[in-house]
Amino acid sequence: MVGAIGNRPYQHERKMSVKILCMRELPGWVVERAREMTPEVEFVSRAAAEADSGLLGQVEASFDYPPPEWLARMPALRWAHSPGGAGVGAHLTPEVLAHPAVYIAAHIHAEPIAEHLFAMLLYFTRRLPVARRLQAEHHWGGCGPLDTLTGKTLGLLGVGAIGRRAAELGAAFGMRVLGMRRTGAPAPYIARMFTPEEKAEMLPLCDVLMLTLPLTPRTRGFLGPAEFALLKPGALLFNTGRGKTVDTSALLAALESGRLAGAGLDVTDPEPLPPGHPLWDAPNTLITPHTSGSQPETMRIVGELFLANLRHYLAGEELEGVVDKEEGY
């Protein structure tokens, strides 16, 4: 069966047995169901692999990505399954790019991250921190000018699964939704799609900007001083993609000057954000510690996708959620 790794082919045949490296512990129910598929599945813990490097040469699958320096000793590795998000650019080291293994990303975070983006947006437009302060003071008073989303223009930088769900929510709030994606291909709920080469045309149109970009060589520093200068005065910015897609110094300058009315950041550069960093105290800034993708069902969804791919692999079928190593997602 032939599939693809980025633009390169891979091939495997129907199998009855497989040795799986567990870089992190698999839930018991996943292990039980895997053994129901084939009794000849063997799970190798990280500790066992570190103690006996000969095991690495027999591993065909890995739950969570193995360290890049291990790959030279893993010629049999055919696929590695991430329990995290869609963007894996930070993992694509030269060793990973050179290895023929397929990398799988679990695209499971669209709903919680899209909801998180709009929770942060409403935090600002409905002035919830002011209301909470007045409540703490036991004071019944006005919160100041409140805003609505209806009629505002929402710009989405990145229209993958998360961006598509954010577009749907934005349209439900009565917002005009613009999008940006590498291909420029249209998507539902998006009035106009731009390419990255057209960002100078798109940015001045946006009242609200949401970033869900993966980190790739093309997206690193995607918003810098020139881009912040193009934004509408009083725009709001939200980032749940990767911190390094935004120039932190330029972001701070835009917040401190008031050009940005506020920023909601689930990701930062650096990350974790160290104590004493000026972003902590930047005006009108809400920071969450890279938790926007959290949901109660995460491990169940990840486990089901892992089992689906194990079933595909044993049957010699194409795998689900294969990362394009050239694009990083």
Residues labelled catalytic: 242, 271, 290
Between CA 115 and CA 126, with CA 120 as vertex, the angle to 5 degrees is: 115
* Backbone phi, psi, residue 45, to 5°: -75, 160
Q: Ramachandran region of residue 160, left (φ > 0), alpha (ψ -120 to 50) or beta? A: beta
Q: What is the CA radius of gyration of the chain?
A: 22
CB atoms within 10 A of CB 136: 8
* Backbone phi, psi, residue 27, to 5°: -60, 150
One DSSP character per residue, 34-50 reads: HHHH-TTEEEEEHHHHH
Q: Express the helix, strand and coil content of the chain in percent, nearest 5 each.
A: 35, 20, 45
Max alpha carbon distance in the chain (Å)?
Answer: 70
Pairing of strands 102-104, 79-81: parallel
Asked if residues 87 and 214 have their Cβ atoms less than 8 Å apart, the reply is yes
- At a CB cut-off of 8 Å and minimum separation 6, what does 86 contact? 105, 106, 107, 109, 160, 161, 162, 214, 329
Dihedral sign, Cα of residue 216, residue 220, residue 223, residue 226:
negative
CB atoms within 10 A of CB 211: 26
